[in-house]
Amino acid sequence: MLVAATNPCPCGYLGDPRKECHCGPTQIERYCGKISGPLLDRIDLQVEVPAVAYGELRREEPAESSASIRERVLRVREVQRKRFDGLPGVETNAQMDSAELRKFCRLDAESDKLLEHAMESLNLSARAHARILKVARTLADMDGRETLSSDDVMEAIQYRSLDRKLWS
């Protein structure tokens, strides 16, 4: 599994409400251009993480424990293991090939239209398209649903924030 983080611009304050960013558009473009499109394509979940305010850091309520998150992951992995039972080499949604995508990620007319629109307006690649379907499949699995909903597709598109923002 690959986990990576980057600043939004050379100074790091682009989009931060507490401090102004003084980077120019060309500078920002050059900075973001260091990560290639094909590399970004291969990252399933792209999420913007705003700076954490001091008050948040000091919050008393405990965050969800790793143990309970692990339980959730194992539960969804089990759903996937059952789905791909009998398919050698496939244990998770991420490992589906194009035939399996067609079989297990059927979209209704509304979701299909939504994805088509996103593909065109965000200029997404075929690889990004497959990633979105796989992530949507996992979101439905987390919810215990057999069928993908347009909300799953919408949420999966949201996780392409770098494609949407800097590279489109």
Residues within the interface to Zn ion (CB under 5 A): 9, 11, 14, 21, 23
Nearest distance from C-beta of residue 57 to Zn ion, angstroms = 23
Nearest distance from C-beta of residue 10 to Zn ion, angstroms = 6
Closest to 91 measured CA to CA, from 76, 103, 105, 107: 76
CA 20/CA 25 separation, integer angstroms = 14
Nearest distance from C-beta of residue 13 to Zn ion, angstroms = 5
Q: For residue 89, give the DSSP letter.
A: T
Longest CA pairwise span in the chain (Å): 56
- Which secondary structure element, helix H or strand E, spans residue 115, and what is its range? helix 109-121
* Residue 24 or 78 having the CB closest to Zn ion: 24
Output the six-digit token pair for 90.
């496939």
- For 42-141, list the strands marked E by DSSP: none
* Residue 24 or 145 having the CB closest to Zn ion: 24
CA 121/CA 116 separation, integer angstroms = 9
* Residue 23 or 148 having the CB closest to Zn ion: 23
Nearest distance from C-beta of residue 7 to Zn ion, angstroms = 8
* Residue 23 or 136 having the CB closest to Zn ion: 23
* Residue 9 or 156 having the CB closest to Zn ion: 9
Contact 138, 96 (CB under 8 A): no
Q: For residue 136, give the DSSP letter.
A: H
CA 75/CA 71 separation, integer angstroms = 6
Nearest distance from C-beta of residue 9 to Zn ion, angstroms = 3
